Amino acid sequence: MIASDPDTPEWANEELARAKPFAEVFPALAEKARRAGRPKSSNPKVAVSLRLDPDIVEAFRQTGQGWQTRMNEALRKAMD
């Protein structure tokens, strides 16, 4: 595809040798990218391996996105 795009020539070995890391050229952007993502939760979830009947899992999955949260809520209600 490079050959079909004259605005994007292939780099020679000399050009590659002179290239600098992104973090060195754009330190503020690199730092911002490192910090991106979901904020830390004050009450993080715990990953577990749990064996459930397939029909139960399928029933929750059929409720759409957020089914794991709804399953957590159902388990919390059962706990009370």
pLDDT digits (tens, 9 = 90+) for 35-46: 777 888 898 999
Nearest one of 22, 72, 21, 71 to 45, comparing CA atoms: 72
Can you give the pLDDT at residue 2?
Answer: 66
In the DSSP assignment, the letter for residue 60 is: H
Q: What is the pLDDT of residue 3?
A: 73
- What is the per-residue pLDDT for 38? 80
Q: Which residues of the chain have pLDDT under 50?
A: none
Domain boundaries of the chain, sorted by first residue: 10-38+47-79
